[in-house]
C-alpha cells in the first residue's frame, strides 16, 4: 500500500517535472532594485514593431552577467503572464499568438527582472508594438558558413515565420557526384512570392539551373555561346514565364589588412532574358565596357530595373581590377518592357549613386510601386561584405525627387532608414514583403561576421526599429555558425521535396 502511494507520488512528481520543463510561469520577484534602464536583452526587442502573426519573440539576458530572468507580458486587455527559465524567456506559440491577437494595433508591455549575484534588478518596461499588417508566412534562405573559398554542407531552407518550423528545400549533398569539385547551390528565386514557379542554381558537380514551372521541375543549362556565363542573379517576371538574369564573370579576392576582409567583383557582366516556355535566351544589354547586374522587375512587370557600372576614368581602364575595384561604382537604371514583343525600351537613369560617390546595388521595388529599396556602399557590387553597406529607400512617385536624382543633384527624398540600418556593419539584400509593410534585410550587425535576417515595419514612408528573426531558443543565434544568405519572402512553402528535386538530375 505504502509502495503503491509512493509510486503514485513519484509518477505525479515526474509528470509535474515534465510539465514544468515545458512551460515555466515563474513568480515575479517580491522585491527588487530598480535598474533605471531597459534590459540589455538579446535579441534586442525593446520597442520594436512586429507583425500580428510573427513567431514568439523569445529573448534572454546575458548568461555571463545574470543567473535568472523573469518577464511579465501584459496585453492591452489587462491579461498578464510571466515567463522565464534560467536567463531565457521562451513563450509558447499558442499563448503568444493569443497575446498578439489581443494586441493588434496596440502594444504588449514587457517588464523584465534579472537576478545578478543573488540580487533582483527590475528594468524599465518596454513595449512591443503589434502592427495590424501580417508578414508573409514563409521565408527562405541559404545557410552557409561565412565562407571564403571552401564550403562543405550547404542547404536552402524555408522557415515558417509564424512558428519556428524550418524545413529543407534542397541540399548540396543529395546530388553531388564528385566530391573533389563539390557542389554549390544558390540564388533561389520565386515568381511573385509564390512557389509554383521558382528556381535555384546548382554549380560545379551536376551543374544546372533548376526551374519549377507550374510545379514541374526541370534542369536547364542557361549558358549559350553568345553569353558570358549561365544565368546568375535572377528575377522572375511577376506575371509572365520570363526570368531576367545577369550573366557574370565573378571573382573574389581577400584583403590582407582591410576590415572588409573579402572583395567580390565582376570582370564582366550582362543581362539576359530567359523564356521558360521556349527555353530561349535573349540578350537585354551587353555593354562590353560596363557591368550590368542585379535585374529586378517592377511589380507590374512593365519595367526592368538593374544596376550598371559607371565608366572608369581613362587612366584606370587598362589596369588590373585588383587595383581599380575601389573605383567601380554602380548606378540604378531601368528599361521599359513590352510584354507582347518581349522588347525592351531605352535605358533610363533612376538613381545616380556615383554622383554622391556611392555605389547602388540590389534594387527592389515595393509591391505598390511607390518605393525603391537598394543597398548602397562606397564602391562595388557586394555590400554584404562592406562595413559601410546600408539600405536606402527612395520614393519613386516623387517626380521632382526622381528628376533631382537623375541629374545627380541630390538623393531624392531619402526615406529615413536609420532605425533599420546598423552602425558601421554590413546591411544588404533588402526586400519587401508581399503587402509592402515589411522590409527585410541581411545584416552582419550582431558581430560583423555572421549574417542574420532583420525585419522592419514600413508604413507611410516611415521605417521602425528593426528586429531579428525570432528563434525558439534565442541562443541559437550564437550557436549557429552559419550565415543566412539571400533571404526571400514567400507567401506559401515550397511543396516539392528535396528528393523530388534530386530526381531532376
Partner 1 sequence: MNKKSKASGAILCVSLLAFIAFVAYILHINQEVLYTAHDRSEFVFGTPFFHTLLSKPFGLMQYVGAWLTQLFCRPAIGTGVMVVIWVLIFCVGTKAFRLQGSASALMLLPIACLLTSIVDLGYWIYIYPVRGYWFSQSVGYLAMLLLLWAARCTPRKWHLVWYLIAVCTYPVLGWFALLFILCLALTEKPTWRELIGLFLLILTASIWHVLLYMNLKSSDVMLAGFPRFETPLDKSERLSIPFWVLGAVSVLIPLYGRYLNRPKVKAFVPTLCAVAGIIFTSTLMFHDRNYTDEMRMVRLASDDNWQEVLAMAEKSKKPTNTMVFLKNIALINEGGLLDRSFKLGNDGVGINSPDSIHVTLLDIASPLVYYNYGMMNEAIRLNFENAIQAGFSPFYLKMLSRCALAKGDEKLVERYTTLLHHRPFYGNWQPAPVTEKVKELQNCFPDELTGVENSESYLINGISLWYETDSKVASEQALLYSMLRCDSRRFWASLRNYVKLHMDEQFPLHAMEAYILYMDKAPEEKRMMLPVEQVVYNRYKQFWDTLEGWAKPGMTLEKVGEKMRSEWGDTYWWYNIFGRKTY
> Which residues of the chain form contacts with partner 1 (CB under 8 A)?
63-64, 145-153, 168, 171, 173-176, 179-182, 253-259, 261, 263, 322-323, 325, 446-450, 472-473, 475-476, 478-482, 497-499
Rounded distance between C-alpha atoms, residue 175 and residue 170, angstroms: 10
Helix, strand, or coil here: 203?
Answer: strand
Cell for 71? 518577464
Shortest Å distance, C-beta 420 to partner 1: 19
Shortest Å distance, C-beta 314 to partner 1: 22
Shortest Å distance, C-beta 468 to partner 1: 14
Shortest Å distance, C-beta 142 to partner 1: 14
Shortest Å distance, C-beta 321 to partner 1: 9
Shortest Å distance, C-beta 377 to partner 1: 16
Integer angstrom CA distances of residue 159 from 156, 166, 366, 420: 10, 4, 22, 22
Shortest Å distance, C-beta 252 to partner 1: 9
Rounded distance between C-alpha atoms, residue 110 and residue 144, angstroms: 34
Element at 347 (helix H, strand E)? strand 343-351
Count Cβ neighbours within 10 Å for each residue of 67-98 and write b for 16 or more, e otherwise: ebbbbbbbbeeeeebbbbbebbbbbeeebbbe
Please say which residue, 256 or 278, places its beta carbon nearer to partner 1.
256
Please say which residue, 152 or 338, places its beta carbon nearer to partner 1.
152
Shortest Å distance, C-beta 191 to partner 1: 25
Cell for 485? 544568405
Name the β-bridge partners of 213: 216
Rounded distance between C-alpha atoms, residue 372 and residue 252, angstroms: 28
Integer angstrom CA distances of residue 324 from 267, 314, 318, 319, 346: 11, 12, 9, 7, 29
Please say which residue, 239 or 449, places its beta carbon nearer to partner 1.
449
Shortest Å distance, C-beta 500 to partner 1: 9
Please say which residue, 226 or 254, places its beta carbon nearer to partner 1.
254
Cell for 51? 507583425
Query: Cell 520577484, residue?
Result: 29
Please say which residue, 30 or 117, places its beta carbon nearer to partner 1.
117
Please say which residue, 192 or 422, places its beta carbon nearer to partner 1.
422
Query: Cell 519549377, residue?
Result: 212
Shortest Å distance, C-beta 265 to partner 1: 9
Please say which residue, 63 or 285, places its beta carbon nearer to partner 1.
63
* Centroid of chain to Cα 467: 12
Task: Supply the DSSP symbol for 384.
Answer: G
Cell for 308? 550598371
Integer angstrom CA distances of residue 456 from 147, 281, 419: 27, 37, 8
Backbone angles phi, psi at 220, to 5 degrees: -125, 155
Contact criterion met (CB below 8 Å) for 385 and 411: no
Shortest Å distance, C-beta 256 to partner 1: 5
Please say which residue, 191 or 471, places its beta carbon nearer to partner 1.
471
Element at 43 (helix H, strand E)? none
Shortest Å distance, C-beta 365 to partner 1: 34
Shortest Å distance, C-beta 189 to partner 1: 21
Please say which residue, 246 or 422, places its beta carbon nearer to partner 1.
422
Query: Cell 564573370, residue?
Result: 249
Please say which residue, 104 or 472, places its beta carbon nearer to partner 1.
472
Please say which residue, 52 or 174, places its beta carbon nearer to partner 1.
174
Query: Cell 507590374, residue?
Result: 300
Rounded distance between C-alpha atoms, residue 10 and residue 82, angstroms: 27
Backbone angles phi, psi at 445, to 5 degrees: -65, -25
Please say which residue, 127 or 475, places its beta carbon nearer to partner 1.
475
Rounded distance between C-alpha atoms, residue 118 and residue 32, angstroms: 11
Q: What angle do CA 360, 363, 365 make, to 5 degrees?
A: 140
Please say which residue, 28 or 480, places its beta carbon nearer to partner 1.
480
* Centroid of chain to Cα 6: 55
Amino acid at each position: 500500500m505504502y509502495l503503491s502511494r509512493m509510486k503514485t507520488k513519484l509518477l505525479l512528481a515526474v509528470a509535474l517535472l515534465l510539465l514544468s520543463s515545458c512551460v515555466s510561469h515563474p513568480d515575479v520577484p517580491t522585491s527588487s532594485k530598480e535598474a533605471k534602464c531597459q534590459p540589455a536583452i538579446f535579441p534586442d526587442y525593446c520597442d520594436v514593431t512586429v507583425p500580428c502573426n510573427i513567431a514568439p519573440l523569445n529573448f534572454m539576458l546575458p548568461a555571463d552577467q545574470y543567473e535568472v530572468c523573469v518577464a511579465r507580458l501584459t496585453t492591452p486587455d489587462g491579461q498578464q503572464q510571466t515567463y522565464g527559465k534560467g536567463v531565457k524567456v521562451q513563450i509558447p506559440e499558442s499563448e503568444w499568438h493569443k497575446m498578439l491577437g489581443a494586441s493588434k494595433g496596440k502594444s504588449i508591455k514587457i517588464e523584465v527582472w534579472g537576478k545578478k549575484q543573488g540580487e533582483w534588478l527590475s528594468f524599465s518596461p518596454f513595449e512591443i508594438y503589434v502592427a495590424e499588417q501580417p508578414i508573409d508566412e514563409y521565408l527562405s534562405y541559404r545557410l552557409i558558413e561565412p565562407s571564403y573559398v571552401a564550403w562543405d554542407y550547404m542547404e536552402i531552407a524555408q522557415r515558417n515565420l509564424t512558428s519556428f518550423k524550418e524545413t529543407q528545400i534542397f541540399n548540396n549533398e543529395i546530388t553531388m557526384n564528385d566530391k573533389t569539385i563539390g557542389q554549390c547551390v544558390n540564388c533561389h528565386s520565386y515568381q511573385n512570392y509564390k512557389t509554383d514557379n521558382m528556381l535555384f542554381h546548382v554549380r560545379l558537380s551536376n551543374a544546372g539551373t533548376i526551374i519549377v514551372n507550374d510545379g514541374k521541375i526541370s534542369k536547364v543549362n542557361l549558358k549559350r555561346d553568345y553569353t558570358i556565363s549561365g544565368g546568375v542573379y535572377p528575377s522572375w517576371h511577376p506575371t509572365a514565364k520570363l526570368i531576367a538574369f545577369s550573366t557574370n564573370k565573378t571573382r573574389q579576392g581577400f584583403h590582407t589588412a582591410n576590415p572588409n576582409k573579402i572583395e567580390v567583383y565582376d570582370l564582366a557582366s550582362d543581362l539576359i532574358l530567359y523564356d521558360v516556355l521556349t527555353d530561349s535566351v535573349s540578350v537585354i544589354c551587353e555593354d562590353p565596357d560596363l557591368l550590368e547586374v542585379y535585374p529586378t522587375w517592377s511589380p507590374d512587370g512593365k519595367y526592368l530595373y538593374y544596376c550598371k557600372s559607371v565608366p572608369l576614368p581613362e587612366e584606370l581602364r587598362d589596369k588590373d581590377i585588383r587595383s581599380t575595384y575601389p573605383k567601380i561604382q554602380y548606378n540604378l537604371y531601368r528599361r521599359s518592357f513590352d510584354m507582347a514583343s518581349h522588347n525592351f525600351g531605352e535605358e533610363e537613369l533612376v538613381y545616380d549613386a556615383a554622383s554622391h560617390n556611392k555605389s547602388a546595388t540590389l534594387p527592389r521595388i515595393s509591391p505598390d510601386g511607390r518605393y525603391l529599396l537598394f543597398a548602397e556602399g562606397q564602391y562595388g557590387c557586394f555590400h554584404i561584405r562592406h562595413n559601410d553597406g546600408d539600405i536606402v529607400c527612395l520614393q519613386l512617385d516623387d517626380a521632382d525627387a526622381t528628376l533631382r536624382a537623375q541629374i545627380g543633384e541630390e538623393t531624392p527624398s531619402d526615406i529615413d532608414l536609420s532605425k533599420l540600418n546598423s552602425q558601421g556593419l554590413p546591411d544588404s539584400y533588402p526586400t519587401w514583403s508581399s503587402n509592402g509593410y515589411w522590409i527585410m534585410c541581411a545584416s552582419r550587425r550582431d558581430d560583423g561576421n555572421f549574417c542574420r535576417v532583420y525585419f522592419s515595419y514600413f508604413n507611410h514612408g516611415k521605417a521602425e526599429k528593426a528586429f531579428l528573426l525570432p528563434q525558439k531558443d534565442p541562443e541559437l543565434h550564437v550557436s549557429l555558425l552559419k550565415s543566412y544568405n539571400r533571404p526571400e519572402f514567400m507567401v506559401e512553402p515550397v511543396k516539392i521535396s528535396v528528393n523530388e528535386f534530386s530526381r531532376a538530375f
